[in-house]
Structure 1
Amino acid sequence: MRQQIFATPEKLAQAAAREFAQLARASVGSRGAFHVALSGGSTPKLLYCALRELDVPWSEVSIYFSDERCVPPDSPDSNYKLALDELLSRVPVPAGQVFRLQGELDPHEAAARYQQQLPGQLDLVLLGLGDDGHTASLFPDTAALSAAGRVVANFVPQLDAWRLSFTFDEINSARERWLLVTGAAKAGVVRDVQQEAGSHPVELVRDARWFLDESAAQNLHP
């Protein structure tokens, strides 16, 4: 487990933002573009705020999303809306280079359409972590944990709702995978990942970089 530990969620977000900007510049320099998948949640919101202040080659950045709720794009529950409000409407990324998951469509149709919009390989997938060990919208005991392909419509009985999500194959095919995790509620799952307990969906993410605040890291062994 490759982890970096920061004193607060804000310091974590600032460090991740600096590395995001550096990776974007390197990707544009070597391949002419930077393809990144964003995620939802409170920690990415802090990241988005930090990114607004940095030198990122936004004209060469293409934005995707690792998962989405099945809601319209103007819903307060939409990961796209969060990214739009906190980042995309505040930086000069071309609108034609932002590819959202269409949560307002039939979930299976939305998943099929999104597969056609993805690039050959993503440079970076940003991920979060749920208290139950899920990442993206790959929840425990759901069919999507073993789904093939790149994007899947996943019914989550715990929520009685459909979600759209990258598959683990898609996540693991990216050049880099970052997990941004904050809060004491995640500490038990983080410890299980370190111990390779094999009991949480997030453990299917391979060779990820973990950005942790001290609360999330409190149960790790030295």
Structure 2
Amino acid sequence: MEIRTFQSADEVAKEAAIYIADRIRENVTRKGSFTMAISGGRTPWEMIKELAKEDLHWEKVFLFQVDERIAPDAHPDRNLTQLFKAIEGTKLVLRLNIFPMRVTADNLNEACEEYADHITRLTENGKFDLIHLGLGTDGHTASLVPGDAVLAVQDKTVAITGDTYQGRHRMTLTYPLINQAAKILWVITGAEKAEMLNRLLHQDPSIPAGKIDQYHAIVLTEESASVEIN
């Protein structure tokens, strides 16, 4: 795993955008497309705003969600709502291919299967070119939350959490899918993440994030979050 540390969250967002833009150029040149899944949080939306400034073949970029809250369309809790706000007024509105998780479906299990099928069809056998992940203060990533039954799911690539987290059930990508990504991009900001970042870097299996394969991973973080690294 590679780790790069910057002075502020804003700088992390800018560097993450540069990293993604470079990966887009590489993959579009090599195979004509780029597939990516994005998580929620605070810094990712600034990252997307920076990324939108890049002159890229956006029509060849396929953007999926890592996870989503089960909430109505346009609800502020939804990651998709925040994504649309981030790209509002940019070229990405018309050119970027966005595939939302269908969390308002009557049958959420069928919606998971449908999403998994979309991923398989548009990626190389379910292998994303890049998956962006964040890190919670409890060690969760995606919606893989400590103690939830979804942590044990091995026969599905997209699943619904067993319990609510912060008041809502979630739809999430699972370990089997995340761990076969060509690149994992961790974007971790905030002093409150310091302990969990250190545990992540040591691949502590007692936290959900510690079970993510780090062989093809890079961590972009800020100084305040890296004070406990040893």
TM norm. shorter chain > 0.5: yes
Query: Which of 139, 142, 166 is the equivalent residue of 1:159?
Result: 166
The equivalent of 2:113 in structure 1 is: 112
| Residue 204 to residue 53, structure 1, CA distance change in 2 (3 Å) | same
Query: Which of 176, 185, 207 is the equivalent residue of 1:200?
Result: 207
How many angstroms apart in 2 are the aligned matches of 1:169 and 1:115? 12
Q: Aligned residues, how many?
A: 221
Structure 2: tracts of 5 or more residues without a match: none
1:140-155 alignment, distance < 5 Å: 140-148=146-154, 149-155=156-162
How many angstroms apart in 2 are the aligned matches of 1:150 and 1:88? 30
Structure 1: tracts of 5 or more residues without a match: none
| Residue 189 to residue 125, structure 1, CA distance change in 2 (3 Å) | same
The equivalent of 1:215 in structure 2 is: 224
- DSSP-derived class of the 1:90 partner: coil
Q: CA deviation at 1:38?
A: 1.2
1:23-42 alignment, distance < 5 Å: 23-42=23-42
- DSSP-derived class of the 1:188 partner: helix
User: Among the aligned pairs, what percent are the same residue?
Assistant: 29
How many angstroms apart in 2 are the aligned matches of 1:89 and 1:142? 38
Output the amino acid matched with 1:28. Answer: V
| Residue 82 to residue 100, structure 1, CA distance change in 2 (3 Å) | same
User: What's the RMSD between the two structures over aligned residues?
Assistant: 1.7
How many angstroms apart in 1 are the aligned matches of 2:196 and 2:68? 22
* TM-score, normalised by the number of residues in structure 2: 0.90
How many angstroms apart in 1 are the aligned matches of 2:172 and 2:89? 24
Q: Is the 8 A contact 2:87 2:93 kept in 1?
A: no
Q: CA deviation at 1:91?
A: 2.3
1:37-186 alignment, distance < 5 Å: 37-87=37-87, 90-92=90-92, 94=94, 97-105=97-105, 106-118=107-119, 119=122, 120=125, 121-148=127-154, 149-186=156-193
| Residue 6 to residue 111, structure 1, CA distance change in 2 (3 Å) | same
How many angstroms apart in 2 are the aligned matches of 1:79 and 1:127? 13
4+ residue runs of structure 1 moved beyond 3 angstroms?
A: 92-96, 157-160
How many angstroms apart in 1 are the aligned matches of 2:204 and 2:78? 32
